[in-house]
Amino acid sequence: MKLSTRSRYGVRMMADLADNYGKTPVFLKDIAKREDISEKYLSIIVIPLRAAGLIQSTRGAYGGYVLARPPEEITVGDIFDAVEGKICLVDCVKNPQDCSRASTCPTRDVWSVLSDRIRDTLGSITMADLVKTRHEKALNNIMSNI
């Protein structure tokens, strides 16, 4: 199983916005430069994030993007759901009626538990957590270079 670049870049973009929360709106080009992600690709990722109510945009010279809620209220799971859809590792977990073996299949329970655990984990990590970790890692990096 691999996460798509869409979800990985979406989380990085949102972490950047969280790091700038409470300041002026942030231009996509600035996020793209800091995160080393194509601005064009970010412009595609912002669409579902805005539709999900996770970010807001402002037009004009002082425009840009901001988080729609405080970083403590936005989870990695929220971002994943917005850009990828609800986590479901196997179709039969979400739609048991699509599989004639769903009621007797022993592996379906494994995929269901695994999906739940992934959802729970992603839902427990907030943008505030990622900002804190980013700052700690930056400080550790500085300290190790002294």
- Chain position carrying tokens 């379906």: 108
The predicted-structure confidence for 47-80, as pLDDT tens digits, reads as follows 999 999 999 998 887 789 999 999 999 999 999 9
Main-chain phi, psi angles of 27, to 5 degrees: -75, 145
Domain coverage including residue 50 = 5-144
What total number of domains does the chain contain? Answer: 1
DSSP string, 38-51: -HHHHHHHHHHHHH
CATH of the domain at 23: 1.10.10.10
Q: Three-class SS of residue 75?
A: strand
* pTM exceeds cut of 0.85: yes
Q: Three-class SS of residue 79?
A: helix
